[in-house]
Structure 1
Protein backbone atom coordinates (compact mmCIF):
# COMPACT_ATOMS: atom_id res chain seq x y z
CA UNK A 1 0.00 0.00 0.00
CA UNK A 2 2.84 2.40 0.82
CA UNK A 3 5.27 1.10 -1.78
CA UNK A 4 5.02 4.47 -3.56
CA UNK A 5 7.24 5.94 -0.79
CA UNK A 6 10.18 4.29 -2.51
CA UNK A 7 9.63 6.39 -5.64
CA UNK A 8 12.09 9.18 -6.45
CA UNK A 9 9.57 11.94 -5.81
CA UNK A 10 8.64 10.71 -2.35
CA UNK A 11 12.24 9.99 -1.32
CA UNK A 12 13.16 13.60 -2.23
CA UNK A 13 10.13 14.91 -0.33
CA UNK A 14 11.14 12.91 2.75
CA UNK A 15 14.72 14.17 2.59
CA UNK A 16 13.53 17.78 2.36
CA UNK A 17 11.30 17.23 5.42
CA UNK A 18 14.17 15.67 7.36
CA UNK A 19 16.41 18.63 6.50
CA UNK A 20 13.76 21.19 7.44
CA UNK A 21 13.22 19.80 10.94
CA UNK A 22 16.70 20.57 12.40
CA UNK A 23 16.79 23.85 10.45
CA UNK A 24 13.55 25.16 11.94
CA UNK A 25 14.58 23.96 15.41
CA UNK A 26 17.83 25.95 15.13
CA UNK A 27 15.95 29.01 13.87
CA UNK A 28 13.67 28.77 16.90
CA UNK A 29 16.61 28.67 19.30
CA UNK A 30 18.22 31.58 17.42
CA UNK A 31 15.12 33.68 18.07
CA UNK A 32 15.04 32.47 21.69
CA UNK A 33 18.64 33.62 22.20
CA UNK A 34 17.76 37.01 20.69
CA UNK A 35 14.84 37.24 23.13
CA UNK A 36 17.10 36.39 26.07
CA UNK A 37 19.69 38.96 24.93
CA UNK A 38 16.96 41.61 24.65
CA UNK A 39 15.65 40.85 28.14
CA UNK A 40 19.19 40.94 29.60
CA UNK A 41 19.85 44.25 27.84
CA UNK A 42 16.62 45.74 29.23
CA UNK A 43 17.49 44.59 32.75
CA UNK A 44 20.97 46.06 32.43
CA UNK A 45 19.61 49.42 31.24
CA UNK A 46 17.00 49.48 34.02
CA UNK A 47 19.66 48.80 36.67
CA UNK A 48 21.94 51.47 35.22
CA UNK A 49 19.21 54.12 35.10
CA UNK A 50 18.05 53.49 38.67
CA UNK A 51 21.50 53.23 40.20
CA UNK A 52 22.90 55.88 42.54
CA UNK A 53 24.53 58.70 40.52
CA UNK A 54 28.33 58.69 40.61
CA UNK A 55 30.85 61.27 39.34
CA UNK A 56 31.63 60.84 35.65
CA UNK A 57 35.38 60.79 36.19
CA UNK A 58 35.16 57.89 38.65
CA UNK A 59 33.98 55.70 35.78
CA UNK A 60 35.88 57.33 32.92
CA UNK A 61 39.11 58.60 34.38
CA UNK A 62 41.32 58.87 31.31
CA UNK A 63 41.32 59.81 27.63
CA UNK A 64 40.63 56.89 25.31
CA UNK A 65 38.59 55.03 27.93
CA UNK A 66 36.06 52.67 26.30
CA UNK A 67 32.79 52.54 28.22
CA UNK A 68 31.84 48.86 28.71
CA UNK A 69 28.30 47.62 28.18
CA UNK A 70 27.65 47.15 31.90
CA UNK A 71 28.34 50.86 32.53
CA UNK A 72 26.44 52.23 29.53
CA UNK A 73 23.41 54.31 30.60
CA UNK A 74 24.75 54.56 34.16
CA UNK A 75 23.57 57.76 35.87
CA UNK A 76 26.53 60.09 36.39
CA UNK A 77 27.20 63.62 37.56
CA UNK A 78 29.79 66.21 36.58
CA UNK A 79 30.65 69.68 37.87
CA UNK A 80 32.51 72.30 35.89
CA UNK A 81 32.19 75.05 33.29
CA UNK A 82 31.10 74.70 29.70
CA UNK A 83 33.57 75.38 26.89
CA UNK A 84 31.32 76.92 24.18
CA UNK A 85 34.29 77.70 21.92
CA UNK A 86 34.60 73.97 21.18
CA UNK A 87 30.89 73.22 20.90
CA UNK A 88 29.74 71.24 17.83
CA UNK A 89 26.62 69.62 16.43
CA UNK A 90 25.97 66.07 15.21
CA UNK A 91 24.02 65.86 11.97
CA UNK A 92 20.93 63.87 10.97
CA UNK A 93 19.62 62.97 14.42
CA UNK A 94 15.98 62.62 15.44
CA UNK A 95 14.21 64.21 18.38
CA UNK A 96 12.10 62.49 21.00
CA UNK A 97 9.21 62.07 18.56
CA UNK A 98 11.40 60.24 16.08
CA UNK A 99 9.78 61.97 13.09
CA UNK A 100 11.94 65.07 12.66
CA UNK A 101 15.57 65.33 11.63
CA UNK A 102 17.87 67.79 13.36
CA UNK A 103 21.09 68.00 15.35
CA UNK A 104 22.51 66.89 18.67
CA UNK A 105 24.26 69.75 20.45
CA UNK A 106 27.50 68.65 22.11
CA UNK A 107 29.47 71.01 24.37
CA UNK A 108 32.62 70.11 26.35
CA UNK A 109 32.49 70.63 30.10
CA UNK A 110 35.81 71.47 31.83
CA UNK A 111 35.71 69.55 35.10
CA UNK A 112 36.30 71.54 38.27
CA UNK A 113 38.77 68.95 39.59
CA UNK A 114 41.08 69.63 36.64
CA UNK A 115 41.11 66.05 35.35
CA UNK A 116 40.07 67.14 31.88
CA UNK A 117 36.86 67.76 29.97
CA UNK A 118 33.73 65.75 29.28
CA UNK A 119 31.67 65.89 26.11
CA UNK A 120 28.05 66.65 27.02
CA UNK A 121 25.20 65.93 24.63
CA UNK A 122 22.94 68.78 25.70
CA UNK A 123 20.03 67.60 23.57
CA UNK A 124 18.37 68.01 20.18
CA UNK A 125 17.52 71.03 18.04
CA UNK A 126 15.60 71.14 14.77
CA UNK A 127 17.34 71.87 11.50
CA UNK A 128 15.83 75.20 10.58
CA UNK A 129 17.89 76.56 7.72
CA UNK A 130 20.52 75.39 5.31
CA UNK A 131 22.41 72.20 6.11
CA UNK A 132 25.67 74.07 5.42
CA UNK A 133 25.04 76.64 8.15
CA UNK A 134 25.46 76.13 11.88
CA UNK A 135 21.95 75.79 13.42
CA UNK A 136 20.50 78.12 16.02
CA UNK A 137 21.42 76.60 19.36
CA UNK A 138 20.50 77.73 22.89
CA UNK A 139 23.67 78.98 24.54
CA UNK A 140 25.29 76.79 27.17
CA UNK A 141 24.91 78.15 30.74
CA UNK A 142 27.82 80.26 31.95
CA UNK A 143 29.65 79.77 35.23
CA UNK A 144 29.95 76.58 37.22
CA UNK A 145 27.16 74.04 36.76
CA UNK A 146 26.45 70.55 38.05
CA UNK A 147 25.09 68.13 35.49
CA UNK A 148 23.29 64.81 35.76
CA UNK A 149 23.11 62.49 32.80
CA UNK A 150 23.59 59.05 31.32
CA UNK A 151 27.02 57.62 30.57
CA UNK A 152 27.41 56.73 26.89
CA UNK A 153 30.20 55.13 24.90
CA UNK A 154 31.87 56.98 22.05
CA UNK A 155 30.10 56.46 18.74
CA UNK A 156 31.90 54.63 15.98
CA UNK A 157 31.02 54.05 12.33
CA UNK A 158 31.11 50.28 12.87
CA UNK A 159 28.93 50.33 15.99
CA UNK A 160 26.37 52.90 14.81
CA UNK A 161 26.24 52.11 11.11
CA UNK A 162 26.71 55.83 10.41
CA UNK A 163 29.28 56.69 7.79
CA UNK A 164 31.79 59.23 9.14
CA UNK A 165 32.01 61.43 6.07
CA UNK A 166 34.67 64.11 5.74
CA UNK A 167 34.26 67.59 4.26
CA UNK A 168 31.35 68.67 6.47
CA UNK A 169 30.65 72.32 7.34
CA UNK A 170 32.51 73.90 10.23
CA UNK A 171 31.70 72.39 13.66
CA UNK A 172 29.43 69.74 12.17
CA UNK A 173 30.15 66.03 12.60
CA UNK A 174 28.47 62.69 12.06
CA UNK A 175 29.56 61.01 15.29
CA UNK A 176 30.18 61.83 18.94
CA UNK A 177 33.79 60.77 19.34
CA UNK A 178 36.16 62.00 22.04
CA UNK A 179 39.16 60.83 20.01
CA UNK A 180 38.02 62.82 17.00
CA UNK A 181 37.30 65.95 19.04
CA UNK A 182 40.59 65.70 20.94
CA UNK A 183 42.36 65.66 17.59
CA UNK A 184 40.35 68.67 16.42
CA UNK A 185 40.76 70.82 19.54
CA UNK A 186 43.79 69.44 21.38
CA UNK A 187 41.76 69.29 24.61
CA UNK A 188 42.08 66.50 27.18
CA UNK A 189 38.78 64.64 26.85
CA UNK A 190 37.82 61.73 29.07
CA UNK A 191 36.54 58.69 27.17
CA UNK A 192 32.80 58.36 26.68
CA UNK A 193 30.33 61.19 27.00
CA UNK A 194 27.41 62.39 29.12
CA UNK A 195 23.84 62.48 27.80
CA UNK A 196 22.29 65.36 29.74
CA UNK A 197 19.16 64.89 31.84
CA UNK A 198 19.35 67.80 34.33
CA UNK A 199 21.37 70.96 35.05
CA UNK A 200 21.86 72.83 38.33
CA UNK A 201 21.20 75.73 38.23
CA UNK A 202 18.56 75.11 35.57
CA UNK A 203 19.02 77.20 32.39
CA UNK A 204 16.25 79.39 31.03
CA UNK A 205 16.56 77.80 27.59
CA UNK A 206 18.15 74.59 26.42
CA UNK A 207 17.94 72.01 23.60
CA UNK A 208 15.30 69.30 23.80
CA UNK A 209 16.55 66.69 26.27
CA UNK A 210 16.75 63.14 24.99
CA UNK A 211 14.33 60.57 26.44
CA UNK A 212 15.39 57.49 28.36
CA UNK A 213 16.08 54.42 26.23
CA UNK A 214 13.15 52.05 25.92
CA UNK A 215 13.86 49.15 28.26
CA UNK A 216 10.40 47.61 28.49
CA UNK A 217 9.90 46.35 24.93
CA UNK A 218 11.07 42.73 24.62
CA UNK A 219 10.37 42.56 20.90
CA UNK A 220 8.73 39.76 18.89
CA UNK A 221 11.58 37.25 19.15
CA UNK A 222 9.88 34.87 21.61
CA UNK A 223 6.79 34.73 19.41
CA UNK A 224 8.99 34.02 16.39
CA UNK A 225 10.70 31.19 18.29
CA UNK A 226 7.35 29.58 19.11
CA UNK A 227 6.26 29.96 15.49
CA UNK A 228 9.38 28.16 14.23
CA UNK A 229 8.88 25.29 16.68
CA UNK A 230 5.20 24.99 15.73
CA UNK A 231 6.31 24.82 12.13
CA UNK A 232 8.77 22.09 13.15
CA UNK A 233 5.92 20.05 14.62
CA UNK A 234 3.82 20.59 11.50
CA UNK A 235 6.47 19.15 9.16
CA UNK A 236 6.04 15.44 10.11
CA UNK A 237 2.29 15.93 10.52
CA UNK A 238 2.05 17.49 7.09
CA UNK A 239 4.20 14.76 5.57
CA UNK A 240 1.98 12.05 7.09
CA UNK A 241 -1.17 13.79 5.82
CA UNK A 242 0.32 13.86 2.32
CA UNK A 243 1.22 10.17 2.55
CA UNK A 244 -2.27 9.19 3.73
CA UNK A 245 -3.89 11.24 0.98
CA UNK A 246 -1.67 9.64 -1.65
CA UNK A 247 -2.43 6.17 -0.29
CA UNK A 248 -6.20 6.80 -0.35
CA UNK A 249 -6.03 8.18 -3.89
CA UNK A 250 -4.08 5.13 -5.07
CA UNK A 251 -6.46 2.75 -3.28
CA UNK A 252 -9.44 4.50 -4.89
CA UNK A 253 -7.87 4.30 -8.34
CA UNK A 254 -7.11 0.60 -7.82
CA UNK A 255 -10.70 -0.12 -6.72
CA UNK A 256 -12.12 1.74 -9.72
CA UNK A 257 -9.83 -0.17 -12.07
CA UNK A 258 -10.95 -3.48 -10.53
CA UNK A 259 -14.63 -2.58 -10.98
CA UNK A 260 -14.00 -1.75 -14.64
CA UNK A 261 -12.32 -5.07 -15.19
CA UNK A 262 -15.22 -7.00 -13.59
CA UNK A 263 -17.75 -5.15 -15.77
CA UNK A 264 -16.01 -6.24 -18.99
CA UNK A 265 -17.81 -9.35 -20.54
CA UNK A 266 -15.79 -12.55 -20.51
Structure 2
Protein backbone atom coordinates (compact mmCIF):
# COMPACT_ATOMS: atom_id res chain seq x y z
CA UNK A 1 0.00 0.00 0.00
CA UNK A 2 2.88 2.34 0.69
CA UNK A 3 4.80 1.51 -2.46
CA UNK A 4 3.84 4.92 -3.84
CA UNK A 5 6.43 6.41 -1.47
CA UNK A 6 9.10 5.03 -3.81
CA UNK A 7 7.78 6.88 -6.85
CA UNK A 8 9.76 9.87 -8.21
CA UNK A 9 6.94 12.23 -7.29
CA UNK A 10 7.02 11.21 -3.63
CA UNK A 11 10.80 11.25 -3.57
CA UNK A 12 10.54 14.89 -4.60
CA UNK A 13 7.88 15.61 -1.98
CA UNK A 14 9.89 13.94 0.79
CA UNK A 15 13.11 15.73 -0.12
CA UNK A 16 11.27 19.06 -0.13
CA UNK A 17 9.77 18.35 3.31
CA UNK A 18 13.11 17.22 4.76
CA UNK A 19 14.72 20.45 3.56
CA UNK A 20 11.84 22.84 4.29
CA UNK A 21 11.28 21.89 7.94
CA UNK A 22 14.87 22.48 9.17
CA UNK A 23 15.06 25.65 7.10
CA UNK A 24 11.87 27.05 8.67
CA UNK A 25 13.04 26.05 12.16
CA UNK A 26 16.44 27.65 11.56
CA UNK A 27 14.90 30.91 10.29
CA UNK A 28 12.42 30.99 13.18
CA UNK A 29 15.21 30.41 15.70
CA UNK A 30 17.31 33.13 14.08
CA UNK A 31 14.46 35.64 14.25
CA UNK A 32 13.86 34.67 17.88
CA UNK A 33 17.53 35.25 18.68
CA UNK A 34 17.28 38.69 17.05
CA UNK A 35 14.32 39.51 19.31
CA UNK A 36 16.16 38.25 22.39
CA UNK A 37 19.20 40.35 21.44
CA UNK A 38 17.01 43.45 21.22
CA UNK A 39 15.46 42.65 24.60
CA UNK A 40 18.95 42.33 26.08
CA UNK A 41 20.04 45.58 24.40
CA UNK A 42 17.00 47.31 25.88
CA UNK A 43 17.80 45.94 29.35
CA UNK A 44 21.46 46.93 29.06
CA UNK A 45 20.59 50.40 27.76
CA UNK A 46 18.11 50.97 30.60
CA UNK A 47 20.67 49.89 33.19
CA UNK A 48 23.31 52.07 31.52
CA UNK A 49 21.05 55.13 31.63
CA UNK A 50 20.47 54.56 35.35
CA UNK A 51 24.21 54.21 35.95
CA UNK A 52 25.04 57.24 33.81
CA UNK A 53 23.02 59.54 36.07
CA UNK A 54 25.58 59.03 38.84
CA UNK A 55 28.76 59.24 36.80
CA UNK A 56 31.04 62.25 36.61
CA UNK A 57 30.16 64.48 33.68
CA UNK A 58 32.79 64.72 30.95
CA UNK A 59 33.40 67.53 28.45
CA UNK A 60 31.18 67.43 25.39
CA UNK A 61 34.03 67.19 22.89
CA UNK A 62 35.22 63.91 24.48
CA UNK A 63 31.86 62.22 23.94
CA UNK A 64 31.27 62.98 20.27
CA UNK A 65 30.11 61.55 17.94
CA UNK A 66 27.13 60.05 19.71
CA UNK A 67 26.83 56.28 19.48
CA UNK A 68 25.50 53.45 21.65
CA UNK A 69 28.44 53.76 24.02
CA UNK A 70 28.07 57.51 24.59
CA UNK A 71 24.30 58.00 24.32
CA UNK A 72 22.91 58.79 27.77
CA UNK A 73 26.32 59.62 29.24
CA UNK A 74 26.64 62.73 31.37
CA UNK A 75 28.38 65.64 29.69
CA UNK A 76 29.16 69.22 30.54
CA UNK A 77 29.35 72.21 28.21
CA UNK A 78 29.89 75.94 28.71
CA UNK A 79 28.52 78.79 26.64
CA UNK A 80 25.75 81.34 26.30
CA UNK A 81 22.13 80.58 25.54
CA UNK A 82 20.83 81.85 22.22
CA UNK A 83 17.68 81.10 20.24
CA UNK A 84 14.87 79.27 22.01
CA UNK A 85 12.46 76.86 20.30
CA UNK A 86 9.55 74.70 21.39
CA UNK A 87 9.15 71.02 20.51
CA UNK A 88 5.39 70.24 20.58
CA UNK A 89 3.53 66.96 21.15
CA UNK A 90 5.95 65.34 23.57
CA UNK A 91 4.66 62.91 26.19
CA UNK A 92 5.87 62.78 29.78
CA UNK A 93 4.27 60.78 32.58
CA UNK A 94 1.30 60.02 30.33
CA UNK A 95 0.56 63.69 29.63
CA UNK A 96 0.99 65.66 26.44
CA UNK A 97 3.15 68.76 26.43
CA UNK A 98 6.23 70.26 24.87
CA UNK A 99 9.97 70.56 25.33
CA UNK A 100 11.65 73.91 25.84
CA UNK A 101 14.74 73.74 23.64
CA UNK A 102 17.44 76.39 23.83
CA UNK A 103 20.60 76.58 21.73
CA UNK A 104 23.78 76.91 23.78
CA UNK A 105 26.50 78.80 21.87
CA UNK A 106 29.75 77.16 22.93
CA UNK A 107 33.27 78.55 22.79
CA UNK A 108 33.84 76.73 19.53
CA UNK A 109 31.08 78.71 17.85
CA UNK A 110 28.74 75.77 17.29
CA UNK A 111 25.44 75.54 19.12
CA UNK A 112 24.40 72.64 21.34
CA UNK A 113 20.61 71.99 21.55
CA UNK A 114 19.69 71.84 25.23
CA UNK A 115 16.30 70.61 26.43
CA UNK A 116 15.87 72.69 29.55
CA UNK A 117 12.62 70.98 30.54
CA UNK A 118 9.05 69.99 29.72
CA UNK A 119 5.77 71.84 30.19
CA UNK A 120 2.22 70.42 29.90
CA UNK A 121 -0.36 71.54 27.35
CA UNK A 122 -0.05 73.08 23.91
CA UNK A 123 3.21 74.74 22.93
CA UNK A 124 3.08 78.35 24.13
CA UNK A 125 6.12 80.57 23.85
CA UNK A 126 4.66 82.98 26.42
CA UNK A 127 4.68 80.25 29.10
CA UNK A 128 8.18 78.97 28.33
CA UNK A 129 10.66 80.41 30.86
CA UNK A 130 13.41 82.53 29.37
CA UNK A 131 16.90 81.07 29.41
CA UNK A 132 19.49 82.36 31.89
CA UNK A 133 21.69 85.16 30.60
CA UNK A 134 25.45 85.31 30.62
CA UNK A 135 27.85 82.43 30.53
CA UNK A 136 26.44 79.16 31.88
CA UNK A 137 27.70 75.62 32.33
CA UNK A 138 25.14 72.90 31.69
CA UNK A 139 25.24 69.25 32.74
CA UNK A 140 22.98 66.63 31.29
CA UNK A 141 22.55 63.39 29.36
CA UNK A 142 23.88 63.30 25.83
CA UNK A 143 21.40 62.18 23.18
CA UNK A 144 21.66 61.37 19.47
CA UNK A 145 19.86 63.53 16.93
CA UNK A 146 16.28 62.45 16.37
CA UNK A 147 14.91 61.14 13.11
CA UNK A 148 11.41 62.37 12.17
CA UNK A 149 8.96 59.48 12.07
CA UNK A 150 11.00 57.19 14.35
CA UNK A 151 10.39 56.34 18.03
CA UNK A 152 7.37 58.62 18.29
CA UNK A 153 9.14 61.67 16.85
CA UNK A 154 6.68 63.67 14.78
CA UNK A 155 7.35 64.18 11.09
CA UNK A 156 4.87 67.06 10.96
CA UNK A 157 5.83 70.03 8.85
CA UNK A 158 4.51 73.57 8.63
CA UNK A 159 4.86 74.29 12.34
CA UNK A 160 4.55 77.89 13.58
CA UNK A 161 7.68 80.01 13.88
CA UNK A 162 9.71 79.11 16.93
CA UNK A 163 8.81 75.40 16.85
CA UNK A 164 10.50 72.27 15.56
CA UNK A 165 9.18 68.72 15.34
CA UNK A 166 12.52 66.96 15.79
CA UNK A 167 15.71 67.74 17.67
CA UNK A 168 18.42 67.26 15.09
CA UNK A 169 21.05 69.26 13.26
CA UNK A 170 19.18 68.64 9.99
CA UNK A 171 15.94 70.07 11.40
CA UNK A 172 17.57 73.04 13.12
CA UNK A 173 19.99 74.14 10.40
CA UNK A 174 17.33 76.27 8.72
CA UNK A 175 16.00 77.67 11.99
CA UNK A 176 19.17 79.11 13.50
CA UNK A 177 21.95 81.22 11.92
CA UNK A 178 24.84 79.08 13.21
CA UNK A 179 26.19 75.55 13.00
CA UNK A 180 24.59 72.98 15.29
CA UNK A 181 26.11 69.89 16.92
CA UNK A 182 24.73 66.59 15.68
CA UNK A 183 23.58 65.80 19.21
CA UNK A 184 21.52 67.30 22.01
CA UNK A 185 21.43 67.31 25.79
CA UNK A 186 18.62 66.96 28.30
CA UNK A 187 19.32 68.61 31.63
CA UNK A 188 19.32 66.38 34.70
CA UNK A 189 17.63 69.19 36.64
CA UNK A 190 15.12 71.26 34.69
CA UNK A 191 15.16 75.07 34.77
CA UNK A 192 12.52 77.38 36.22
CA UNK A 193 9.71 75.07 37.33
CA UNK A 194 9.78 72.76 34.32
CA UNK A 195 10.03 68.98 34.57
CA UNK A 196 13.27 67.32 33.55
CA UNK A 197 13.11 65.16 30.43
CA UNK A 198 14.62 61.73 31.11
CA UNK A 199 17.25 60.36 28.75
CA UNK A 200 16.16 57.68 26.33
CA UNK A 201 17.94 54.57 25.11
CA UNK A 202 19.90 54.87 21.86
CA UNK A 203 18.32 53.88 18.55
CA UNK A 204 17.99 50.16 17.81
CA UNK A 205 18.42 49.22 21.45
CA UNK A 206 14.82 49.18 22.59
CA UNK A 207 11.62 47.18 22.23
CA UNK A 208 10.57 49.10 19.15
CA UNK A 209 8.63 48.05 16.04
CA UNK A 210 11.63 46.19 14.63
CA UNK A 211 11.87 44.06 17.76
CA UNK A 212 8.24 42.98 17.55
CA UNK A 213 8.63 42.38 13.82
CA UNK A 214 11.36 39.87 14.69
CA UNK A 215 8.96 38.20 17.14
CA UNK A 216 6.23 38.11 14.50
CA UNK A 217 8.57 36.59 11.92
CA UNK A 218 9.54 33.95 14.49
CA UNK A 219 5.92 32.83 14.74
CA UNK A 220 5.49 32.86 10.97
CA UNK A 221 8.47 30.58 10.33
CA UNK A 222 7.36 28.06 12.95
CA UNK A 223 3.83 28.13 11.50
CA UNK A 224 5.31 27.45 8.05
CA UNK A 225 7.17 24.44 9.48
CA UNK A 226 3.94 23.11 11.00
CA UNK A 227 2.07 23.73 7.75
CA UNK A 228 4.63 21.71 5.78
CA UNK A 229 4.19 18.77 8.19
CA UNK A 230 0.40 19.09 8.04
CA UNK A 231 0.32 19.10 4.23
CA UNK A 232 2.67 16.10 4.06
CA UNK A 233 0.39 14.03 6.31
CA UNK A 234 -2.66 15.20 4.38
CA UNK A 235 -1.16 14.15 1.05
CA UNK A 236 -0.04 10.85 2.56
CA UNK A 237 -3.51 10.12 3.92
CA UNK A 238 -5.19 10.88 0.60
CA UNK A 239 -2.66 8.73 -1.22
CA UNK A 240 -3.26 5.81 1.17
CA UNK A 241 -7.02 6.16 0.80
CA UNK A 242 -6.70 6.17 -2.98
CA UNK A 243 -4.45 3.09 -2.93
CA UNK A 244 -6.90 1.25 -0.64
CA UNK A 245 -9.86 2.13 -2.85
CA UNK A 246 -7.92 1.01 -5.93
CA UNK A 247 -7.18 -2.38 -4.31
CA UNK A 248 -10.88 -2.80 -3.55
CA UNK A 249 -11.78 -1.86 -7.13
CA UNK A 250 -13.70 1.20 -6.04
CA UNK A 251 -11.70 3.51 -8.30
CA UNK A 252 -9.86 3.12 -11.56
CA UNK A 253 -6.09 2.68 -11.13
CA UNK A 254 -4.64 5.98 -12.31
CA UNK A 255 -2.01 8.55 -11.51
CA UNK A 256 -2.36 9.67 -7.86
CA UNK A 257 -2.01 13.30 -8.93
CA UNK A 258 -5.45 13.14 -10.51
CA UNK A 259 -6.97 11.75 -7.36
CA UNK A 260 -5.47 14.35 -5.10
CA UNK A 261 -6.24 17.23 -7.42
CA UNK A 262 -9.86 16.13 -7.82
CA UNK A 263 -10.14 16.22 -4.04
CA UNK A 264 -9.27 19.90 -3.96
CA UNK A 265 -5.63 19.60 -2.92
TM-score by length of 1: 0.65
* Pairwise CA distance, 1:106: 0.4
- CA 1:223 to 1:153, structure 2 compared with 1: closer, same or farther past 3 Å? closer
* Aligned mates of 2:74, 2:240 — CA distance in 1: 69
Shift of 1:137: 1.9
Shift of 1:59: 2.9
1:205 is matched with which residue?
A: 193
2:108 maps to 115
Whole-angstrom distance in 2 between the partners of 1:32 and 1:228: 15
Is residue 35–residue 221 contact of structure 1 (8 Å, CA) maintained in 2? Answer: no
Unpaired runs of at least 5, structure 1: 259-266
Shift of 1:251: 5.7
Structure 2 runs not aligned, ≥5 long: 251-265
Does the 8 Å contact 1:105/1:137 carry over to 2? yes
Aligned match of 2:51? 50
Change in 2 beyond 3 A, CA 1:49/1:110: farther
Find the aligned partners of 1:192 and 1:82 in 2 and give their Cα distance. 16
Instruction: Judge conservation of contact 1:96–1:210 (CA < 8 Å) in 2.
Output: no
Pick aligned residue for 2:62 from 56, 59, 62: 59
User: Is the alpha carbon distance of 1:190 and 1:252 closer, same or farther for their aligned partners in structure 2, counting shifts above 3 Å?
Assistant: closer
SS in 2 for 1:137: coil
Match of 1:238 in 2: 230
2:2 corresponding residue in structure 1: 2
Instruction: After TM superposition, give the deviation of residue 235 of structure 1 in Å.
Output: 5.1
Q: CA RMSD in A?
A: 4.2
Per-residue Cα deviation, 1:44-100 (whole angstroms, up to 9, x for no partner): 55335524233342335xxxx6422321122223355543xx100123332232xx4
The separation in 2 between residues aligned to 1:243 and 1:17, in whole angstroms, is 12
Inter-partner Cα distance in structure 2 for 1:162 and 1:15: 51
1:163 & 1:142 partners in 2: Cα distance?
A: 32
Q: Residues 148 and 168 from structure 1, CA distance in 2 versus in 1: closer, same or farther, beyond 3 angstroms? A: same
Deviation at 1:122, TM superposition (A): 2.2
- Could you say which residue in structure 1 is the equivalent of 2:263? none
> Take 1:246 and 1:54, find their aligned partners in 2: how far apart are those partners?
72
Q: 1:29: how far off?
A: 1.2
Q: Cα–Cα, structure 1 residues 170 and 228, in superposed 2: closer, same or farther, change >3 Å?
A: closer
TM-score for the superposition, normalised by structure 2: 0.65
Say whether 1:169 aligns with 2:160: yes
Q: Matched residue pairs, number? A: 239
How far, CA to CA, are the matches of 1:180 and 1:229 in structure 2? 40
The yes-or-no answer on 1:33 pairing with 2:26 is: no
Structure 1 residues 164 and 56, CA gap change in structure 2 (3 angstroms): farther
Matched ranges for 1:61-100 at <5 A? 66-83=65-82, 86-97=83-94, 100=95
